[in-house]
Amino acid sequence: MDVPLTEKLALNIREVTALTGVCRTELYDAIAAGALRARKRGASTLVLQADLRAWLDGLPAIAPSAAGKAAGAGEAEPAAEMGAGSAPAPARRRRRLVLIAAGERT
């Protein structure tokens, strides 16, 4: 019998990732830090729906800025207009591995 993810009492890490979009490394980091409660059943790591919801509810909320409200939802505020002391977080970039054949130059 297939049970929808939202109806399961406990989820494995793959299911938590599919349900939340949070990567497995971040989930294991949260478990190791004690922020996300998990259980072990043999080799499987299980997270109860209630513990997952409590962890997600405990994440910091993003408060809309006054300028963001005036500009419209979803629009980014230019760095020059940001208030003093509120530096934007650095963007995370993924690095790509590029293989170059022998004798080939870039």
16 secondary structure, DSSP code: H
18 secondary structure, DSSP code: H
Question: Looking at this protein, which amino acid is placed at residue 56?
Answer: L
Q: What domains can you pick out in the chain, each with its CATH number?
A: 5-58 (1.10.1660.10)
pLDDT tens figures, 75-101: 555 444 445 555 666 666 666 666 666
DSSP codes, 26-91 = HHHHHHHTTSS--EEETTEEEEEHHHHHHHHHHSPPPPPPHHHHHH-TTPPPPGGGSPTT-PPPPP
pLDDT tens figures, 30-40: 999 999 999 99
Positive/negative CA dihedral, 40, 44, 50, 56: positive
